[in-house]
Amino acid sequence: MTAGVHPGCSITGEKDGLLKHDCDTTGGSSGGPIIAWINQKPYIVALNNMEVKTRANGTPLFNLAVKISRIEQVLNGQ
């Protein structure tokens, strides 16, 4: 087993503390970090949550991740 990496993937949307992203994922990757380079430093900006697939044939559509700021709000009782 090795960590996954997908250089060049992107956050493609955001809603209610969830980020839509196009990074490659695999079974068991939930909870893995989504890392962004900000001012030439790596930051964990979200944790991978789930892959959304079509009902008809299970074709992957997109992935979701929980923003770190949303996790911090829950931990702080907000």
**DSSP letter string over 53-69?**
E-TTT--EEEEEEEEHH
pLDDT digits (tens, 9 = 90+) for 14-60: 988 899 998 888 777 788 888 888 899 888 889 999 888 899 998 88
CB contact at 8 A, 51 and 35: no
CB contact at 8 A, 29 and 39: no
Report the distance separating Cα 53 and Cα 49, nearest Å: 13
**Tokens found for residue 57:** 């044939």
pTM strictly above 0.85 = no
CB contact at 8 A, 17 and 67: yes
Q: What pLDDT is recorded for position 1?
A: 55
